[in-house]
Amino acid sequence: MDSWDEVRTAFQVARLGTVSGAADVLGVHHATVIRHIDALEGKLGVKLFQRHARGYTATEAGNDLLLVAQTTDDQFAQLAGRLRGRGASVTGELVITSLATLSPMLAPVLAAFRAEHPELTVRYLTGDRLFRLEYGEAHVAIRAGTAPEQPDNVVQPFIRQALALYAADFYKERYGLPKDESEFKDHYFIGHDTETRAPFNIWLRETVPIENIVYRTADNRSNEDGVVAGAGIGFLPVKIAERYSNLTQVAPPRPEWSAPLWLVTHVDLHRTAKVQSFLTFLKAAARDWEV
């Protein structure tokens, strides 16, 4: 059965009883209908209809086909309805991936977005490995660093996350706070263990003597924990630091410290209402994360 269109044609003929009627419904010429039927009967080796001058009447085989094709027609109609609706509405799954750092900021946004769209299921993926948009693993990715340049991805600038230097009360009581940058050499800092291309990290290594970077971590979460514990002065996103009452801002955020974030979507999904709707929502919510 390798031609579903012919089944569809036969279905309409069986339903309506005439070739001409079926041709009208299908929007094709009646000759086409006749040829479809002939072809189908030839392939199946069964007569589906008895031909007479007043129309086609279905044989037993034709009636059997009618029943099967009727349900198919119904199911396809339902499917088309669902699919067309899905294209224009915000339902189903929305899969977001980002660096784990952004989780505290993103979580309330995702929760609010889902609250606006009750039929939506949010999947928020963070992890060490990069989730690949190309394979449908996510609808939207938030990436840091230099602009990704993969061909099938739609990349747009998001925000520059405001970063500032913070010290915990424990540190302040023990070592005091630097009044300005010139006193940094007399203080202890928290930095990345490995040399990264992150702007604030480069700035840190250029400004502070390497021996003053006394607490080094491998990931952002550990870095945050170190700052909060008073292991040294360290960089934190402003939005994160605001969550702790025991932190004092040592220096206000500067643009040159922050790496740009990028919103990345797959080109196939970028135009969908679901993705567009979320992007708009996200950008509005992120306005005050900016430097």
Would you tell me which residues interact with a copy of itself (CB under 8 A)? 1-5, 7-8, 26-27, 44-54, 57-61, 64-65, 68, 71-72, 75-80, 82-84, 86-88, 92-93, 133-136, 152, 266, 268-269, 272
Sequence-separated (6 or more) residues with CB below 8 Å from residue 240: 104, 105, 224
Closer residue to DNA, CB minimum distance, 192 or 266: 266
How many CA atoms lie less than 13 Å away from 223 in the CB half-sphere? 24
Residues listed for the chain: 291
Select from a copy of itself, DNA, none the partner in contact with residue 266, using the beta carbon and a kind-dependent cut-off of 5 to 8 Å. Answer: a copy of itself
Lookup: tokens for 207: 């400004």
Select from a copy of itself, DNA, none the partner in contact with residue 35, using the beta carbon and a kind-dependent cut-off of 5 to 8 Å. Answer: DNA
Q: Give the start-end residues of each E strand in the chain.
A: 49-52, 55-58, 92-98, 120-126, 140-144, 153-160, 163-168, 189-192, 213-217, 234-237, 247-251, 260-266
Residues 251, 124 contacting (CB under 8 angstroms): no
* Residue 54 near DNA by CB under 7 A: yes
DSSP 8-state symbol, 128: S
> Residue written as tokens 């502070």?
208
> Residue written as tokens 């990704």?
148
Q: Residue 7 Cβ, how far from DNA at the closest point, in Å?
A: 13
Q: Which of 134, 173, 186, 225 binds DNA (CB under 7 A)?
A: 134
Stretch in the footprint of DNA (CB under 7 A) among 29-37, 77-85, 170-178, 225-233 = 29-37
Q: What is the dihedral of CA 180, 182, 186, 191, to 10 degrees?
A: 80
Q: What angle do CA 255, 260, 261 make, to 5 degrees?
A: 140
Lookup: tokens for 60: 């037993």
DSSP 8-state symbol, 144: E
Q: Residue 164 Cβ, how far from a copy of itself at the closest point, in Å?
A: 39
Q: Can you tell me the distance from the alpha carbon of 163 to that of 227, in angstroms, rounded to the nearest whole number?
A: 13
Closer residue to DNA, CB minimum distance, 54 or 129: 54
Residues 250, 177 contacting (CB under 8 angstroms): yes
Closer residue to DNA, CB minimum distance, 65 or 162: 65
Q: Residue 47 Cβ, how far from a copy of itself at the closest point, in Å?
A: 5
Q: Which of 8, 15, 25, 32 binds DNA (CB under 7 A)?
A: 32
SS3 131: coil
Closer residue to a copy of itself, CB minimum distance, 153 or 220: 153
Closer residue to DNA, CB minimum distance, 118 or 127: 127
Closer residue to a copy of itself, CB minimum distance, 96 or 231: 96
Q: Residue 203 Cβ, how far from DNA at the closest point, in Å?
A: 31
Closer residue to DNA, CB minimum distance, 27 or 45: 27
Q: Which of 29, 123, 197, 283 binds DNA (CB under 7 A)?
A: 29
The interface mask with DNA, positions 136-155, x = CB under 7 A, is: --------------xx----
Residues lying near DNA in the complex (CB under 7 A): 5, 18-21, 27-32, 34-36, 51-56, 134, 150-151
